[in-house]
Amino acid sequence: MSDILTKSIRKIRESKGYSQEYMAQEMNLSQRAYSKIENCETKLDWEKLKIISKILEIEIGDLINYDKNSKINHHDFKHTSSSDLAVFISLYEDRILRIEKEMDFLREIVLNNTQH
């Protein structure tokens, strides 16, 4: 997994004051197993990513964009594998679907309120 994502996870975890031990406990992992995730020694699968985002109370898509101060440029993606890019694309597609559903719901509320 790209270290862009794992760096964001680490920064958010540290900003919340959570230890690796705490994260590991919440995920039913050993501290060493969690450390391997943050150090890109173990593949971060979709299920673990969902659990981490829940513990950190942040949307998965926001994990990718967390470090707004750093510039993501072509060089950053030059070393990103196609499987990592596929994960990023999937995350953004999921986020777009959620936003579209929310917009449809809000449109329906507006329509119902204007008809009464």
What total of structural domains would you count in the chain?
A: 1
- Which CATH number characterizes residue 63's domain? 1.10.260.40
How far apart are alpha carbons 17 and 12 in whole angstroms?
9
How far apart are alpha carbons 67 and 63 in whole angstroms?
8
The string of pLDDT tens digits covering residues 46-79 is 889 899 999 999 888 787 777 654 444 334 455 5
Handedness of CA 15, 17, 20, 25 (dihedral sign): negative
Per the structure, the complete domain to which residue 26 belongs is given by 3-115
φ/ψ of 57, rounded to 5, equals 55, 50
pTM for this structure? 0.58
The string of pLDDT tens digits covering residues 23-41 is 999 999 999 999 999 998 9
